[in-house]
Amino acid sequence: MLEIKNLHASIGNTKILKGLDLTVNSGEVHAIMGPNGSGKSTLASVIAGREDYDVTDGEINFQGNELSDIGPDERAREGIFLAFQYPVEIPGVSTTNFMKTAVNQIRESKGEKPLDAVEFLKLMKEKMKLVNIKQELLSRSINEGFSGGEKKRNEIFQMAMLDPKLSILDETDSGLDIDALKIVSNGVNALKSKENATVVVTHYQRLLDYIVPDFVHVLMDGKIVKSGDKNLALELEEKGYDWIKVKN
Amino acid sequence: MIDTVDLKKSISIEEDNIIKEIKSESLDKIKLSYKKYKEEYKYTPLLRNIEKKYGSFNSSENIKKADSYKDLISTKDKHYIVILNGSYIENISNIPNSIDIKNIKDLSKNEQNIFIDSYSKIDDSTDDIFSSINTILHSNCLTFKINKSTILKEKISIINIVDSSKPTYFRKCFIIDKNSEISFSEEFINVTRDGNFSNSVTEIYMDENAVFNYFSTQNISKNYHFNSINVFQKRNSTSNFHTYSFSGSIIRNNLNIKLLDKSCYANMYGFYAIKNSSHIDNHTSVDHIDENSISNEHYKGIVDDGSIGVFNGKIFVRQRAQKTNAFQSNNNILLSDNAKVNTKPQLEIWADDVKCSHGCTVGQLDDDALFYLMSRGISRKDAISLLLSAFSTDITEKIADKVIREEYQLMILKELEDLNYE
Ligand SMILES: Nc1ncnc2c1ncn2[C@@H]1O[C@H](COP(=O)(O)OP(=O)(O)O)[C@@H](O)[C@H]1O
Ligand SMILES: [Mg+2]
pLDDT tens digit sequence for B344-373: 999 999 999 999 999 999 999 999 999 999
Whose CA is closest to atom 3 on ligand 1? A11
Instruction: Give the whole-angstrom CA distance, residue A92 versus residue B393.
Output: 6
Instruction: Give the whole-angstrom CA distance, residue A100 versus residue A108.
Output: 12
Atom number, ligand 1, closest to the C-alpha of residue A45: 17
First to last CA, chain B: 43
Identify residues whose C-beta is under 5 A from ligand 2, the ion. A 40-41, 85
Instruction: Give the whole-angstrom CA distance, residue A120 versus residue A129.
Output: 15
Residue B330 within a domain = no
Instruction: Give the whole-angstrom CA distance, residue A170 versus residue A202.
Output: 7
Residue B18's contacts (CB-CB under 8 Å, 6 or more residues apart) are B112, B116
Residue B308's alpha-carbon distances to B197, B202, B328, B338, B340, in angstroms, are 19, 25, 21, 9, 5
Q: What's the pLDDT score for residue B1?
A: 64
CATH superfamily of A2-247: P-loop containing nucleotide triphosphate hydrolases (3.40.50.300)
pLDDT digits (tens, 9 = 90+) for B38-53: 889 999 999 989 888 8
Distance (angstroms) between ligand 1 centre and the Cα of A198 equals 22
Q: What's the pLDDT score for residue B420?
A: 72
Domain span at B166: 5-261
pLDDT at A179 over 80: yes
Instruction: Give the whole-angstrom CA distance, residue B345 versus residue B38.
Output: 18
Distance (angstroms) between ligand 1 centre and the Cα of A43 equals 10
Mean pLDDT confidence for B273-298: 97
Q: What's the pLDDT score for residue A137?
A: 95
Q: What's the pLDDT score for residue A154?
A: 95
Closest to A102 (Cβ–Cβ): which among B378, B391, B393? B378
Instruction: Give the whole-angstrom CA distance, residue A46 versus residue A44.
Output: 6
Question: What is the DSSP secondary-structure string of A91-119?
Answer: EEEEHHHHHHHHHHHHHHHTTPPPP-HHH
pLDDT at A123 over 70: yes
Chain A nearest CA to B156, separation (Å): 30
Chain A residues within an 8 Å CB radius of B390: 90-93, 141
Mean pLDDT confidence for B395-411: 95
Residue A193's contacts (CB-CB under 8 Å, 6 or more residues apart) are A27
Interface test with A, best of B361, B376, B379 (most A CBs within 10 A): B376
Is-contact B295 B317, C-beta < 8 A? Answer: no
pLDDT at A248 over 70: no
Which ligand sits closest to the CA of A86?
Answer: 2
Atom number, ligand 1, closest to the C-alpha of residue A43: 17
Q: What's the pLDDT score for residue B422?
A: 62
pLDDT at A59 over 80: yes
Work out the percent of chain B whose per-residue pLDDT is above 70: 98
Q: What's the pLDDT score for residue A247?
A: 55
φ and ψ at residue B346, rounded to 5 degrees: -140, 110
Is-contact B170 B199, C-beta < 8 A? Answer: yes
Strand partners, B187: B159, B217
DSSP H helical ranges for chain A? 40-48, 72-78, 95-109, 117-131, 135-138, 148-162, 178-191, 230-239, 242-247
**Order of strands across the sheet with A65-66?**
A14-24, A2-11, A54-62, A65-66
Instruction: Give the whole-angstrom CA distance, residue B245 versus residue B52.
Output: 25
pLDDT digits (tens, 9 = 90+) for B225-253: 999 999 999 999 999 999 999 999 999 99
Residues from A in contact with B at Cβ < 8 Å? 48-52, 71-73, 75-77, 81-82, 84, 87-88, 90-93, 97-99, 101-102, 105-106, 109, 141-142, 158, 162
Chain B nearest CA to A31, separation (Å): 21
Complex ipTM value: 0.96
Helix (H, G, I), strand (E, B) or coil at B44: coil
Is-contact B194 B223, C-beta < 8 A? Answer: no
Q: What is the CA radius of gyration of chain B?
A: 21
The rounded Cα B112 to chain-centroid distance in angstroms is 25
Mean pLDDT confidence for B89-109: 92
Strand partners, B238: B211, B265
Mean pLDDT confidence for B119-127: 68
Q: Where are the domains of chain A?
A: 2-247
Which ligand sits closest to the CA of A170?
Answer: 2
pTM: 0.89
pLDDT at A245 over 80: no
pLDDT band, very low/low/confident/very high, at B3 (cuts 50, 70, 90) = confident
Q: Which residue of B has its CA nearest to A168?
A: B375
Whose CA is closest to atom 7 on ligand 1? A11
Residue B311 within a domain = no
- Most ligand 1 atoms within 8 A of CB, residue of A8, A15, A42 to mutate: A42
Residue B68 within a domain = yes
Instruction: Give the whole-angstrom CA distance, residue A93 versus residue A108.
Output: 21
Interface test with A, best of B364, B370, B374 (most A CBs within 10 A): B374
Mean pLDDT confidence for B308-312: 98
Q: What's the pLDDT score for residue A160?
A: 94
Q: What's the pLDDT score for residue B187?
A: 96
- CB half-sphere exposure, B206, CA atoms < 13 A: 31
Mean pLDDT confidence for A202-208: 87
Helix (H, G, I), strand (E, B) or coil at A75: helix
Residue A187's contacts (CB-CB under 8 Å, 6 or more residues apart) are A130, A131, A153, A156, A157, A159, A160
Q: Which residue of B has its CA nearest to A79?
A: B377
Count of structural domains within chain B: 1
Q: What's the pLDDT score for residue A240?
A: 84
Put simply, the answer to whether A101 touches B394 (Cβ < 8 Å) is no
pLDDT at B98 over 70: yes
Is-contact A191 A159, C-beta < 8 A? Answer: yes
pLDDT at B133 over 60: yes
Distance (angstroms) between ligand 1 centre and the Cα of A2 equals 23
Instruction: Give the whole-angstrom CA distance, residue A172 versus residue A149.
Output: 9
Interface test with B, best of A74, A101, A115 (most B CBs within 10 A): A101
Is-contact B388 B273, C-beta < 8 A? Answer: yes
Instruction: Give the whole-angstrom CA distance, residue B85 versus residue B161.
Output: 6
- Is A221 exposed, middle or buried, given 0-12, 13-18 or 19+ CB atoms closer than 10 A? middle
